[in-house]
Amino acid sequence: MFKFNFKQFIQILSDNMIPLYQPKSRNYEESIKSLLSLQSNASTMTSWINERKFNKAESEKKLRDELVQCIDIMDIDLGKQQVIHVAGTKGKGSTCALTESILRNQGFTTGLFTSPHLISPRERIRINGQEISKEKFSQYFWMCWDKLITGPHGQFNLPFFRFLTVMALKVFQEEGVNCTVLEVGIGGRVDSTNIIPQPVVTGISSLGYDHMNVLGNTLAEIASEKAGIMKPGIPVFTVPQPDEAMQVLKSNSEKVGSPFSIVPPFEGTLSLEGDHQRENASLAIALANCFCIKQNSKPISTIYNQNQNYTLYNYAKNNYNIDYFKPLPESFIKGLSTCQWPGRAQYLKYSDKLELYLDGAHTPESALVCLNWWKSVVNKDGASSNENQQQSQYILMFTCTGGRSPKSFLQPFIDAWKNNEIPAFTQILIPEFDDTLKHITPHSVNESPLTWEKQIEQVFNQLLDDANITPRPKIVIEHIQSVIQYCTNQSKSSNIKVLSTGSLYLIGGLLKSIQGDE
């Protein structure tokens, strides 16, 4: 049986970290460069994955112990942080954003920690809905850098995400946050956000297949990793799940002693596009209701002043029933109807003749959700696909990160195309990334720029052949920084609607090219 030595793992981690950046000054720009130097390369990631898989107990304990040391050095009191902790495969970021929006509108001082970012790392740390300022980011970054990376306590081997987790918790403590919403990075069991010993409530959004090289190849294995955020006596909410995943979640909740509840569907007004957001909203409402019941900073009667049935909810049993909380407080309704979450079912009218539809879907399950959203978009044109084709040209812009399957993501779109459920795409645009985009995905891009893009092109050609689709669309590989100009040029002769999907990094690259640097 494979046994991976933890000390060996730490040594490999140290040997393969990007050489520590030597900042030239103490400004914001240098803080970003220093932060990016904490990214690990492929060799480190492979070692980390092996350690998680084959030496679970020791890796979990050792990495947790190191994180606890960092928390202590930064004088962070985890016991005082009122935390909502959310894991899941798809929808966890949206759920966190909706939950934060609800509670911010209720009057709480909120802190929101999410990933990944689209343009700037500052997006990951938000206070009262606003990303942390450059000045605050720089202030807290150097505070943590000096103590954890270069300080007298010795150099900790903190990768990018773990460092930012500690930094975010420090920010929220010092800025007087009384409601912290944490989105898990990957999995849950050994994620750095799982350092919180006793959150107020936990949530698990829709589960599916993603990060399988890390979390496992079955829904049961993936669900087990996500269930790692459950805590004794702390309510856990989830949405309807595939049977295989739901059985694992229920079993784990019983073993841990975490009272379990499945949220009902939501009917109401949302600011976020897509029917799938109703499921996320249901989870957000449950998390917010539970938080309001348990928190100790606001009189509950001022929150549920139109209905006293909230008293029927028992936190210890988690006997959740949405009817106990109806009608929803105005703060909840406002939070749901005003929440903004870029890069997810997002519409941008770039010019009179160029419309962009951006969705960071990147799993086979989220591909179906994105496809349903796209169907609703094109159906609003009120014409058949053939008539639509005369009014507008449709471009599919797609890429995905290495390790994911382009075919499994694209197959539903090809099927819908073949069956005339959506208008034909006249062009397929495959954006090319290179190392100029380290602000988005440092050290995760291909060393040979066109290799991965050519593989995606081959997948497209095979899918189009298998579906016998004619006429064949033009397939174009274009640098990410040039794709908007390319689409603009196409719009000179026709109305253009672009669906861009497959990766949040793609969406981040597009938004950066449109909005510029921060």
- Domains of the chain: residue spans and CATH: 6-338 (3.40.1190.10), 346-515 (3.90.190.20)
- What are 355's strand-pairing partners? 349, 497
115 is in an annotated binding site: yes
Is 467:413 a contact under the CB 8 Å cutoff? Answer: no
Which pLDDT score is estimated for 154? 62
Where do we find the tokens 């208008």? 423
Query: Residue 195 to residues 63, 157, 242, 320: CA-CA distances in angstroms?
Result: 10, 17, 28, 26
> In the predicted model, is pLDDT for residue 48 greater than 60?
no
Nearest alpha-carbon partner for 67 in 164, 132, 152, 150: 164
Q: Are 95 and 86 in contact (CB under 8 A)?
A: yes
Tell me which of 27-41, 42-56, 467-481, 494-508 is least confident. 42-56
d(CA 510, CA 493): 22
**Residue 299: which pLDDT band, with cuts at 50, 70 and 90?**
confident
Closest CA to 289 of 235, 240, 340: 235
Determine the pLDDT at residue 217.
84
CB burial of 6-19 (b: ≥16 within 10 Å; e: otherwise) equals eeebbebbeebbbe
Predicted local distance difference test score (pLDDT) of residue 252: 98
The mean pLDDT value for 355-373 works out to 93
Q: Give mean pLDDT, residues 9-35.
A: 73
Q: Across the chain, what does the average pLDDT equal?
A: 87
The confidence score (pLDDT) of residue 103 equals 97
CB 188 within 8 A of CB 228: yes
Q: What is the pLDDT of residues 302-312, one digit of tens each?
A: 888 777 899 99
CA distance 106 to 83: 16
Q: What is the pLDDT of residues 160-210, one digit of tens each?
A: 999 999 999 999 999 999 999 999 998 899 999 999 999 999 999 999 887
Provide the pLDDT for residue 439: 41
Whether 443 has a binding-site annotation, put simply, is: no
Check whether 174 is labelled as a binding-site residue: no
Has residue 101 got a pLDDT over 50? yes
Does 135 appear as a known binding residue?
no
Evaluate whether 494 touches 488 at the Cβ level (below 8 Å).
no
Answer whether residue 297 shows pLDDT above 90: no
Residue 126 is assigned to a ligand binding site: no
Give the distance from CA 412 to its chain's centroid.
22
Please tell me the distance from the alpha carbon of residue 345 to that of residue 501, in angstroms, as a whole number.
9
Using a pLDDT cut of 90, give the percent of the chain over it: 68
CA angle 417, 418, 421 (to 5 degrees): 50
pLDDT beyond 80 at 385: no
Please report the pLDDT score of residue 1 as a whole number. Answer: 39
- Selection from 475, 434, 466 nearest residue 451 by Cα: 434
Tell me if the bond preceding 116 is cis, omega within 30° of 0.
yes
Per-residue confidence (pLDDT) for residue 359, from 0 to 100: 95
8 has pLDDT over 60: no
Band of the pLDDT at 41, cuts 50, 70, 90?
Answer: low
pLDDT at 264 over 60: yes
DSSP string, 2-70: ----HHHHHHHHHHHBPPPP--SSSSHHHHHHHHHTT-B-HHHHHHHHHHHHH-HHHHHHHHHHHHHHH
| Token couple for 110 | 């909120």
